[in-house]
């Protein structure tokens, strides 16, 4: 593919909808730091061409690397990545980023920084056919796909020639329009890699779900990011939304959630004129005090301060397992969990550090829960058996012949989910044949009972909801509704919701792909706590500890715990009637 063809669609701030632009009188002078200054060392820009990508197969693209004159091979340099790369690197163009970097690095306002300027990908359509232009797909999609491309493909490629820092506090990322939302998305999904974001005329609108970002910013546990936003009053206002309103909404969300955020509003349209003129000053702010790490402060966060303990993150309890699931609290205060693929049940050590194998011959065990007498009830999904392990170790199979993913034990019987049959089973106390008492979820998974024992909440692992059922006197279920709305990764088909637990306040806490989602009684997500780690499925949760304020989470091959300000409740504890919620 010809280089010119690639470059033609990748100028920074591409006017995707140029026919809709409002002609505005925009007079933004070139910043002095965007002009060449005698005596300032000049960096170099090298153009490259990429023809292979696993994340975006079939794409080709140009990319450019700026290397400051002060760079010393072998000494880690800071990094800043730009989307729509070609438009930023010209000597006489609008942005003149290499010149700005030369001046600011020379002034000591920025660290020695390598610039990586990447064009969006193009898939060739061949002769007499139109190409497929990946720009919107790569940039506007609210998922971690583009961050995978940057982190797993572009950074290793860059490292083959240059030494760049591993410190995310010394990595920035920038873009304009769709490139801006792409830049924010990379930092949002991977704050362990990038923590400084420069966004101009950002496309935080409904092209591919970008309008969800302000909501996620408000609900998610804050990430250690510093963000600069720019936009103009005459920006686009089309079928996908108003860019001007969306950027103000984004600013409001970041401010509300306590982020380090700055902004510059103007009267311009959907272009880079204003952004380019303020670029050097924005860089000064973005890189100010760059030797100090960017942090988060949750002490005053409206939704977090009463739910989590500030500066208390996830702590590793046990690792090295095949797949952890089914955390359960015993009446004596002990915490257990399963490693299903290995057929093992483990007991967390009394000090919360490490675990000891308790059972090693229960293949396919998927869930645990205790009754008030200290008996352990196990869901053995692969064997299709519900088994009781008494406190003296004696095992009794209570029911068999149906799928059984997760369970909850009440004083009158056991509810368990049957994903194969797409139903909720109920095994009454003293009976051996369970009854199908509830349908609705496409794939019923985790389940828990409310503190007053009146409603059963059932997670649909394939849907967007947790279902709620009223428990009848005979153990039957009625009035089932898809009740709790679960947030999902924007381009995923399902939420990945799995196990759940309950707070005494009536709040439901669910393990999902996005993190630990906390719902009020009316079914609304207030908070999404971060996952213990990026890798592996966050599968289940349970409250434990003497004060019932510590959450234990099974995540991939490991188990974690976290101190909170919430108070949990186990189904074997005395029933509690929660206060009436705000409706």
550 shares a domain with 504: yes
Residue-by-residue pLDDT tens, the chain, 583 positions: 444 444 444 444 444 444 344 444 688 999 999 999 999 999 999 999 999 999 999 999 999 999 999 999 999 999 999 999 999 999 888 999 999 999 999 999 999 999 999 999 999 999 999 999 999 999 999 999 999 999 999 999 999 999 999 999 999 999 999 999 999 999 999 999 999 999 999 999 999 999 999 999 999 999 999 999 999 999 999 999 999 999 999 999 999 999 999 999 999 999 999 999 999 999 999 999 999 999 998 888 999 999 999 889 999 999 999 999 999 999 999 999 999 999 999 999 999 999 999 999 999 999 999 999 999 999 999 999 999 999 899 999 999 999 999 999 999 999 999 999 999 999 999 999 999 999 999 999 999 999 999 999 999 999 999 999 999 999 999 999 999 999 998 777 678 899 999 999 999 999 999 999 999 999 999 999 999 988 889 999 999 999 999 999 999 999 999 999 999 999 999 999 999 988 8
Residue 19 falls inside a structural domain: no
269 shares a domain with 375: no
Residue 404 falls inside a structural domain: yes
pLDDT for res 579: 93
320 shares a domain with 280: no
pLDDT for res 21: 43
Structure-derived torsion over alpha carbons of residues 242, 245, 248, 252, reported in degrees to the nearest 10: -110
pLDDT for res 534: 84
Residue 557 falls inside a structural domain: yes
What CATH number has the domain bearing residue 179? 3.40.50.1820
321 shares a domain with 275: no
545 shares a domain with 418: yes
pLDDT for res 574: 96
192 shares a domain with 48: yes
329 shares a domain with 225: no
* Exposed / middle / buried, residue 508 (Cβ in 10 Å: 0-12, 13-18, 19+): buried
- Range of 260's domain? 3-9+43-286
Residue 98 falls inside a structural domain: yes
pLDDT for res 18: 41
What CATH number has the domain bearing residue 339? 2.120.10.30
Cα separations in angstroms, 542 against 103, 176, 342: 54, 43, 21
pLDDT for res 6: 44
Contacting residues for 126 by C-beta, under 8 A, at least 6 apart:
none
First to last CA, the chain: 58
517 shares a domain with 386: yes
Cα separations in angstroms, 153 against 67, 235, 279: 19, 33, 27
* Number of structural domains in the chain: 2
Q: What is the pTM of this model?
A: 0.92
pLDDT for res 4: 40
515 shares a domain with 465: yes
118 shares a domain with 259: yes
CA–CA separation, 333 and 368 (whole Å): 15
Residue 310 falls inside a structural domain: no
369 shares a domain with 482: yes
Residue 304 falls inside a structural domain: no
pLDDT for res 493: 67
pLDDT for res 536: 85
CA–CA separation, 470 and 235 (whole Å): 50
Cα separations in angstroms, 148 against 54, 55, 156: 10, 7, 11
Residue 30 falls inside a structural domain: no
Residue 295 falls inside a structural domain: no
353 shares a domain with 254: no
CA–CA separation, 451 and 474 (whole Å): 19
């Amino acid at each position: 593919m010809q280089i010119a063809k690639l470059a033609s669609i990748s100028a920074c701030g591409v006017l995707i909808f140029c026919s809709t632009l409002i002609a505005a009188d925009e007079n933004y002078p070139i910043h002095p730091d965007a002009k060449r200054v005698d005596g300032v060392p000049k960096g170099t820009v090298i153009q490259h061409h990429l023809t292979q990508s696993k994340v975006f197969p079939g794409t080709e693209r140009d990319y450019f690397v700026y290397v400051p004159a002060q760079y010393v091979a072998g000494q880690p340099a800071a990094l800043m990545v730009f989307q729509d790369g070609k438009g930023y690197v010209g000597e006489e163009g609008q942005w003149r980023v290499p010149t700005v970097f030369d001046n600011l690095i020379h002034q000591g306002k920025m660290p020695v920084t390598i610039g990586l300027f990447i064009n969006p990908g193009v898939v060739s359509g061949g002769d007499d056919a139109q190409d497929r232009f990946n720009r919107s797909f790569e940039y506007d999609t609210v998922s971690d796909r583009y961050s995978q491309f940057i982190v797993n493909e572009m950074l290793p490629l860059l490292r083959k020639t240059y030494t760049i820092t591993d410190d995310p506090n010394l990595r920035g990322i920038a873009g304009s329009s769709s490139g801006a939302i792409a830049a924010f998305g990379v930092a949002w999904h991977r704050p362990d890699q990038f923590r400084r974001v420069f966004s101009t005329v950002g496309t935080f609108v409904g092209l591919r779900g970008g309008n969800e970002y302000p909501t996620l910013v408000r609900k998610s546990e804050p990430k250690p990011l510093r963000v600069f936003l720019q936009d103009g009053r005459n920006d686009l206002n089309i079928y996908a939304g108003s860019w001007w309103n969306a950027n103000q909404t984004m600013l409001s969300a970041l401010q509300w959630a306590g982020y380090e955020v700055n902004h510059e509003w103007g009267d311009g349209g959907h272009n880079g004129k204003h952004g380019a003129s303020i670029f050097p000053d924005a860089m000064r702010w973005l890189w100010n005090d760059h030797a100090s790490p960017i942090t988060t402060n949750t002490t005053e966060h409206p939704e977090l301060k009463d739910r989590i303990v500030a500066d208390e993150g996830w702590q590793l309890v046990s690792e090295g397992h095949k797949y952890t699931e089914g955390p359960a609290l015993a009446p004596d205060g002990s915490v257990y969990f399963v490693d299903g693929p290995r057929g093992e049940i483990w007991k967390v050590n009394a000090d919360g550090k490490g675990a000891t194998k308790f059972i090693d011959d229960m293949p396919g065990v998927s869930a645990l829960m205790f009754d008030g007498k200290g008996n352990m009830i196990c869901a053995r999904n692969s064997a299709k058996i519900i088994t009781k392990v008494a406190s003296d170790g004696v095992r009794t199979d209570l029911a068999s012949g149906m799928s059984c993913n997760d369970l909850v034990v009440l004083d009158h019987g056991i509810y368990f989910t049957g994903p194969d049959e797409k139903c909720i089973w109920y095994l009454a106390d003293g009976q051996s044949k369970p009854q199908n008492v509830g349908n609705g979820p496409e794939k019923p998974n985790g389940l828990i009972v409310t503190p007053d024992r009146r409603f059963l909440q059932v997670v649909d692992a394939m849907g967007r909801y947790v279902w709620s059922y009223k428990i009848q006197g005979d153990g039957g279920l009625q009035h089932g509704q898809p009740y709790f709305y679960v947030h999902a990764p924007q381009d995923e088909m399902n939420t990945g919701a799995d196990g759940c637990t309950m707070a005494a306040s009536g709040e439901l806490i669910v393990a999902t792909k996005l993190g630990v989602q906390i719902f009020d009684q009316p079914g609304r997500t207030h908070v999404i706590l971060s996952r213990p780690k990026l890798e592996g499925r966050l599968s289940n949760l349970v409250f434990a500890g003497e004060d019932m304020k510590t959450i234990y989470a099974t995540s991939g091959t490991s188990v974690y715990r976290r101190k909170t300000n919430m108070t949990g409740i186990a189904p074997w504890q005395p029933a509690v009637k929660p206060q009436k919620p705000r409706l």
